[in-house]
Chain A
């Protein structure tokens, strides 16, 4: 009991002393707030990106690419293969009994950024009449749907915001003038929100192609994926690979997600090293300024353990304070902030909402505590080893 009383008394004294060491304490708080803010903002990109890619896929849908294609852009499914795919088992049917299948073609078109005036590549996806049955999360928020046979487009909400592609805007490609007639969303920034949609047959015709990039189907139920996969593999006229759409998107995002995390940890680690030295300096100075106080307590009979705990408690308190400020900054400035990123194989730039999750905040606090503990440990040991007689006599 007296040990706890000792510790709480020394910790209390130490903390009450903090206002007198405001400058040095602020160095620790601001340093750690910076580390946590940067770490969380980069990791918030990784989380947001990952969610966006994952959100674009559904476990209820299967994506069919040409055999060996690792990305949609590298895939080519011949037009005459589509009826065989459509006829395969395991595919859900709409109210009219038609299989919910959409063969899609993807091209790239250039749009000009509304603010910078710079041209940017954007994905133009040709979709069929089953698109909205296939992806019920996609719906129009303005204007109307494109009509087959006409050069009409609908644009994702994030493209409208970023590039000013509003209804009535015109785009020129493949010797044609195309007009925006609608704006769609898919409930928050995801992969499709960064794309332009049009009628697939019209697009094939404009590009004079007779092959699609992919075929997406809605699965009839649990176990349907294996059934579909087996059937397509058994068809000698087809050479295709079948993926659960959500798993395919997650795999696509995995490497970039990993890179973003490494960037976050690397930058965060470098900054943490800086903050660590700041904390070490400040806490050494704090121990030095309190050496008479510490020596007096030790002379009275307080143990070195309580002195160590008091220095570590100060370091932890300041670190947690810094972490909360850093997390708050990251949350205020970055949570929900829509950013975009160019990804190989997933062009155009993908818009995604950065997400500062509770898990990331806890991670930031853990980082801060580790910095605080390492930064406080050596000054705490110095305080505990302070030669009492010498510290007392140094003042006399």
Chain B
């Protein structure tokens, strides 16, 4: 099976004042296409840093990062922005919706970076709204939606441009248990039915249980928890 993400000897250091902190130490990772990977670990372990590297939001200090078939650690800032638009859908803990835009306008945002016509964009937005069960809330602003509904809008926005990879940073961290389970079910369905690769950072073991693979990030190293593909596929 081909890899959606391959990291080799990745080192990430941050300089804070006179101090240099190495967050990731010569890390290697292979994420096969279509996998739902959960990254767990305590605060400061480097899991979000790792997610940012895979999502093209940050660059490694050393090592190779190949995602969606492209060596992204060598791309310029502008190239990286275009690459992200093509290949990555982001879901954030606090949804990060544009407060002044309606649900459908928020979802449409990534399509503004494509050459699709207005009519095509409208059709795609309607389909994405239907997929996340929010057809009747298309005109609602984020402030008029519950947390769970806002995260559904964020998921629709992440999916609308048909990315290769869905990157989720604590997607249920701000939701109650019922909404969280709802959202995780939706992400799992997308992974299974559309074969969309998902990489999710979470603190929550119950959330991680929805993934087909769990990795623990500990002191800048990866520790395989278990291959759950057989179990979750059942």
Contacts and interface: CB of A to CB of B under 8 A. Distances in A.
Interface in A275-323: 292-293, 296-304
A343 interface: no
B44 to A, nearest CB: 12
B52 A296 contact: no
B169 A396 contact: yes
A5 B110 CA distance: 11
A119 to B, nearest CB: 65
Contact of B98 (A5, A13, A392, A396): A13
Given A13-B100, A17-B100, A2 B114 contact: yes
A340 interface: no
Q: Name the interface size band of chain A.
A: 20 to 34
A172 to B, nearest CB: 75
A118 interface: no
A393 interface: yes
B113 A2 contact: yes
A6 B100 contact: no
B60 to A, nearest CB: 12
A146 B113 CA distance: 82
Interface in B37-94: 48, 52, 55, 57-58, 77-78, 81-82, 84-86, 90, 92-94
Contacts of B93: 396
A2 B120 CA distance: 14
A107 B186 CA distance: 97
A310 to B, nearest CB: 12
B96 interface: yes
A296 B114 CA distance: 17
A393 B48 contact: yes
A392 B58 CA distance: 11
B115 A396 contact: no
B78 A9 contact: no
Interface string A373-396: 000000000000000110011011
Contacts of B115: 1-2
B170 interface: yes
B112 interface: yes
Contacts of B170: 396
Q: Name the interface size band of chain B.
A: 20 to 34
B112 A6 contact: yes
Given A389-B58, A392-B57, A296 B92 contact: yes
Contacts of B81: 298, 301-304
Contacts of A16: 100-101
A1 B84 CA distance: 19
B109 interface: yes
Interface string A1-20: 11001100100010011000
A246 to B, nearest CB: 59
Nearest to A15: B100
A301 B84 contact: yes
Max count, chain B CB within 10 A of own CB: residue among A17, A296, A303: A296
A121 B170 CA distance: 84
Contacts of B94: 395-396
B96 A301 contact: no
A301 B78 CA distance: 9
Contact of A9 (B58, B77, B109): B109
Given A5-B112, A300-B84, 7 more contacts: A6-B113, A300-B157, A301-B82, A304-B78, A388-B58, A393-B48, A396-B173
Interface of A: 1-2, 5-6, 9, 13, 16-17, 292-293, 296-304, 388-389, 392-393, 395-396
Interface of B: 48, 52, 55, 57-58, 77-78, 81-82, 84-86, 90, 92-94, 96, 98, 100-101, 109-110, 112-115, 157, 169-170, 173
22 contacts: A9-B109, A9-B112, A16-B101, A17-B100, A299-B90, A300-B90, A300-B113, A301-B81, A301-B85, A302-B85, A303-B81, A303-B82, A304-B77, A388-B58, A389-B57, A392-B57, A396-B48, A396-B93, A396-B94, A396-B169, A396-B170, A396-B173
